[in-house]
Chain A
């Protein structure tokens, strides 16, 4: 076993993902199989290999920065338009701090 149901429960909590009992079982089975396949990477000695995080091409250090000129931003209304709940120009969420 690469992963137990208890570990899957822990990872789901880290990911803020509610999983049903059936989903937990299925997920444990799937992750176990996939992680076992991923172990293949251990065959390779990568001690002296640098990690690749991004495809990079030569360019000046700050070349991706544009001139700092103010521009018209997205309007407040447009930015809020897809909010599931909003009020007074803010996103509304369930109470965070108990009185």
Chain B
């Protein structure tokens, strides 16, 4: 029983045939995670007690002849910016080092109701701000495929946990690419669902109009099963969507013939040679599956980075205003006046990247600059979204690289925030438009670094993404 080789379907069969108990699975997963974690620093905390309790509940249900749920016994890891009742949730920040949430996020609640076993909390960039996981106050995460390289970010710990084989699936959050990019860097599947598809209740807010919770898994089928359990309207998140949740497994017919796949010219500029070569192979594989490839144009692509970093920092500066030393565990001990309590707590508690984004966001919202930056960016967001809506008149799916390059070395971009921001260039566009994006493994570079193919769908187009992603995977996409 190797956690790293199990699939959700495999676990369901093994449990129901009584070849293994959920408790045994959980123990094995916890043992593996404990043993393997020093290599990557993927987990910040293992929730042993909670995991065993959940596993025992699955075994008890099976013993009574009841259905333990579609994710019964599945060991999952949860990004540490998704709250878990009674289990410390730090967001990768010193400020929340001792924060123990009094409630569960809806996504976690729904996974556990489906029988999943939450193993622990995974490392991430502080408040999900970063593309390398180096902005965590609790140390960086190492890429299981190449330990001197970053796992991507901000959901670096979740991607590493799945790639390393310590969890079968994981929850991440994606604001500008934070699920898709680490999934591609680590060689796993990651989905940023349509905005509103999964409730944000209990996801610590970074940029509320962009934030999403989504799954990371070792194959498309498992990612779909995790989404199935979480998706759907939640009255505790007013932006969660009413749209009915389709049967995702049924969408995966193994057949992709006739799908119109758009290849946007703008997304194939500035790729490293290795990444470009993998994309060539991906195109050929899509064509061999019977997809009709069409060159398309998304003309406002080059405006997406400035647009995104204005919108997300503006929202972040508002959302992070709550960390004022009053309610959330930590207050600067030297503070004597109210004003000092605010500024010292924030000045000492936040890391460099959070401070940079709070400053940028405060600036673009401040008197005299609002129209030039924030309002302008919101208008450009409309243009970027229109590009996509027009493209989806002609195609069913858009295929692009996830990132212009594979995993980079630890420290390589740390001192150059702008270069770090530019690494999100292919993922933030779908984020701005609220579209779903699936990252599927697309072979490796000569050095053995994973490359990811991004499939972007129309709003609520998860079924077509799963259909094509699964067909791509079955046709050998991961070993191109």
A interface residues (Cβ-Cβ under 8 A, vs B): 3, 8, 11-12, 14-20, 23, 27, 30-31, 33-35, 37-44, 46, 49-55, 57, 59, 63-64, 66, 74, 78-79, 81-85, 91, 93-96
Specify which chain A residues have a CB less than 8 angstroms from the CB of B145 in the assembled complex: none
Query: Per-residue 0/1 for B329-347: is the Cβ within 8 Å of any A Cβ (1 yes, 0 no)?
Result: 1110001111111111011
Contact A57 B100 (CB under 8 A): no
Chain B CB within 10 A, most for which of A34, A39, A46: A34
| Chain B residue contacts of A8, Cβ below 8 A | 359
A3 partner residues in chain B, CB cutoff 8 A: 363
Q: Is the CB of B330 within 8 A of A54?
A: no
* Known pairs A40-B303, A46-B379, A51-B378; A57 contacts B243 (CB<8 A): yes
B102 contacts A18, C-beta separation under 8 Å:
no
Q: A82-B327, A84-B330 are in contact. List 19 more A-B contacts (CB 8 A).
A: A14-B366, A16-B339, A16-B342, A27-B356, A31-B360, A34-B417, A44-B303, A44-B379, A46-B380, A49-B382, A50-B379, A51-B381, A52-B378, A55-B433, A64-B235, A64-B238, A93-B325, A94-B337, A94-B340
Would you call A41 and B99 a contact (CB within 8 A)?
no
Which listed residue, A15, A39, A43, A95, touches B317 by the CB 8 Å rule?
Answer: A15
Most buried by B among A19, A81, A84: A84
Task: Name the 4 nearest CB pairs between A and B, nearest first.
Answer: A18-B347, A55-B434, A51-B378, A46-B379
Category for how many chain B residues contact A = 35 or more
| A55 x B417 contact (CB < 8 A) | no
| Contact call A46/B383, Cβ cutoff below 8 A | yes
Q: Flag if B327 contacts A93 (CB, 8 Å).
A: no
Question: Is the beta-carbon distance between A19 and B347 smaller than 8 angstroms?
Answer: yes
Cα distance, A90 to B309, chains bound together (Å): 37
**Nearest CB of chain B from residue A11's CB, rounded to whole Å:** 5
Contact present for B379 and A51 (CB under 8 Å): yes
Total contacts A to B, CB within 8 angstroms?
Answer: 161
- Residues of chain B whose beta carbon lies under 8 Å from any beta carbon of chain A: 98-100, 102-103, 195-196, 209, 235, 238-239, 241-243, 300, 302-303, 305-307, 309-310, 317, 324-331, 335-344, 346-348, 350, 352, 355-356, 358-360, 362-363, 366, 373, 375-383, 385, 417-418, 421, 433-434, 459
Contact B326 A31 (CB under 8 A): no
- B336→A38 contact, CB < 8 A: no
Least CB separation from A82: chain B residue: B329
Give 21 A-B contacts (CB < 8 Å), ordered by A residue. Answer: A3-B363, A16-B346, A19-B347, A34-B421, A35-B363, A37-B418, A40-B302, A41-B306, A42-B376, A44-B379, A49-B379, A51-B378, A52-B382, A59-B242, A64-B235, A81-B100, A82-B329, A85-B331, A93-B326, A94-B337, A94-B340
Nearest chain B residue, comparing its CB with the CB of A40: B306
User: Given A44-B303, A54-B239, is A17 in contact with B350 using a C-beta cutoff of 8 Å?
Assistant: yes
Contacts A40-B303, A84-B331, A94-B338; is A17 near B100 (CB within 8 Å)? no
The main secondary structure of chain A at its interface with chain B is: loop
Could you tell me if A57 and B241 are in contact, using CB atoms closer than 8 angstroms? yes
The interface residues of chain B lying within 8 Å CB-to-CB of A85 are: 331
Closest to A81 in B: B102
> In whole angstroms, how far apart are the Cα atoms of A26 and B366 in the complex?
21
> Which residues of the partner chain A approach B306 to less than 8 Å between Cβ atoms?
37-41
Cα–Cα distance between A37 and B377 once the two chains are bound (Å) = 13
- How many whole Å from A32's CB to the nearest CB in chain B? 10
Q: Are B336 and A33 in contact (CB under 8 A)?
A: no
Rounded to whole Å, the gap between the CB of B153 and the closest CB of chain A is 18
Known: A51-B381, A53-B209, A55-B195. A15 touches B358 (CB 8 A): yes
Set of chain B residues within 8 Å of A66, measured between Cβ atoms: 235
> Most chain-B Cβ atoms within 10 A of its Cβ — which of A11, A44, A50, A81?
A11
Complex formed: what's the CA distance from A93 to B434 in Å? 40
**What distance in Å separates the Cβ of A66 from its nearest Cβ neighbour in chain B?**
5
Q: Is the CB of B380 within 8 A of A44?
A: yes
Residue of B whose beta carbon sits closest to that of A26: B352
Cross-chain contact of B303 among A34, A41, A78, A91 (Cβ < 8 A)? A41
A79 to B326 Cα, complex, angstroms:
12
- Set of chain B residues within 8 Å of A12, measured between Cβ atoms: 359
Is the CB–CB distance between A17 and B346 below 8 Å? yes
- Complex Cα–Cα for A3 and B362 (A): 13
Chain B residues within 8 Å of A93, by CB: 325-326, 338, 341
Would A74 and B102 be within 8 Å (CB), given that A41-B376, A84-B325 are in contact? yes
Query: A30 and B366: CB pair below 8 A?
Result: no
Give complex CA distance A63, B337 in Å: 44
Q: Are A38 and B327 in contact (CB under 8 A)?
A: no
Residue of A nearest to B324 (CB): A16
CB distance from A31 to the nearest CB of B (A): 6
Chain B residues with CB below 8 A from A74, complex form: 102-103
Chain B residue with minimal CB distance to A28?
B359
Q: Give, as a whole number of angstroms, the nearest-CB distance from A95 to chain B.
A: 8
